Amino acid sequence: MTAQDRINDYWTGRAPSYAEYQRQPARLADDLAAWSQVWAGALPPAPLDVLDVGTGSGQVAGVLAGLGHRVTGIDLSPGMLEQARSTYGNVGFRLGDAVEPPFPPSSFDAVTGRYVMWTLRDPGAAVANWMRLLRPGGTVAVVDSTWFPDGPQSFYDPSVWEALPLAQAESINQTAAVLEQAGLADVTVTPLTTIYELDEKYGVAPGHELQTQYLITGHV
Ligand SMILES: C[S@@+](CC[C@H](N)C(=O)[O-])C[C@H]1O[C@@H](n2cnc3c(N)ncnc32)[C@H](O)[C@@H]1O
């Protein structure tokens, strides 16, 4: 079993509770407003062709479709894709590797990925491949944080942690450096204060601590 197989199995097992957390009625409206603002600010105006990698239960893809973009979401976890398909009928979801997305060059205007960089086995190769998928002037926009600076957690096997270069990043600049080293221009890191405030108000996902999340953007 490869590290990626283990990652896929983990997320399929977690998919129902992950989707349920994202659909909490109490914070749904505030989440939608806050994330719509984040993604509207991250990308040029709709309609664009957008690929959401590691789409999970599809919340980012759903927000982007709500902004008027034509959205495709890919993930390697069948359980996550099942959750996404059952929630967001206006997005095309398919099985696909974020590191090697199965699309021809110049297929998209933007590639997005939230909470995905940290769990990629080769984030540098992934960003290089995303750049090939983009048309001239296209945008890469990812959101992530320094989730596990204290070291491996029990939800992944130790061999998985060893395979993930950014999982134990101590600074978001390590993630931004991957985008820069792949050749993206204008790489910009923006702390998401509205999301921090939402997490303060409603609480964070089980097993997480209150942490600043960052939007990182760059252009081809
Ligand atoms: C923390 S979840 C984030 C889900 C979603 N982007 C969100 O913001 O809620 C990480 C997701 O990345 C997916 N993933 C991990 N490695 C992947 C890969 N190489 N290709 C595609 N998806 C991957 C997992 O299956 C999981 O759905």
Name the nearest CA neighbour of 88 among 54, 106, 62: 62
State in Å: Cα 119 to ligand 1 middle: 7
Indicate the residue type of 80: M
Q: Once rounded to an integer, what is the mean pLDDT over residues 34-62?
A: 98
Check: CB of residue 144 under 8 Å from CB of residue 114: yes
pLDDT in tens, 169-192: 999 999 999 999 999 999 999 999
pLDDT at site 71: 98
Asked if the model's pLDDT at residue 24 lies above 90, the reply is no
Number of the ligand 1 atom closest to the C-alpha atom of 56: 27
Nearest Cα residue to atom 25 of ligand 1: 77
pLDDT at site 158: 95
Instruction: State whether the beta carbon of 55 lies less than 6 angstroms from ligand 1.
Output: yes
Mutate to test the pocket of ligand 1, among 77, 100, 148, 156 (most ligand atoms within 8 A of CB): 77
State in Å: Cα 29 to ligand 1 middle: 23
Instruction: State whether the beta carbon of 76 lies less than 6 angstroms from ligand 1.
Output: yes
CA atoms within 13 A on the CB side of 46: 13
For domain 3-219, the CATH class is: alpha beta
Q: Once rounded to an integer, what is the mean pLDDT over residues 155-165?
A: 96
Secondary structure of the chain in HEC code, one letter for each residue: CCHHHHHHHHHHHHHHHHHHHHCCHHHHHHHHHHHHHHHHHHCCCCCCEEEEECCCCCHHHHHHHHCCCEEEEEECCHHHHHHHHHHCCCCEEEECCCCCCCCCCCCEEEEEEECCHHHCCCHHHHHHHHHHHEEEEEEEEEEECCCCCCCCCCCCCHHHHHCCCCCCCCCHHHHHHHHHHCCCEEEEEEECHHHHHHHHHHCCCCCCCCCCCEEEEEEC
Question: Where along the chain do its domains lie?
Answer: 3-219
Asked if the model's pLDDT at residue 207 lies above 90, the reply is no
Contacting residues for 153 by C-beta, under 8 A, at least 6 apart: 207
How sure is the predictor about 103, in pLDDT bands with cuts at 50, 70 and 90? Answer: very high
Give percent of the chain above pLDDT 70.
100
Q: What is the mean pLDDT of the chain?
A: 96
Mutate to test the pocket of ligand 1, among 4, 9, 10, 11 (most ligand atoms within 8 A of CB): 11
- Strands 214-219 and 92-95 turn out to be unpaired
State in Å: Cα 78 to ligand 1 middle: 11
How sure is the predictor about 130, in pLDDT bands with cuts at 50, 70 and 90? Answer: very high
pLDDT at site 149: 80
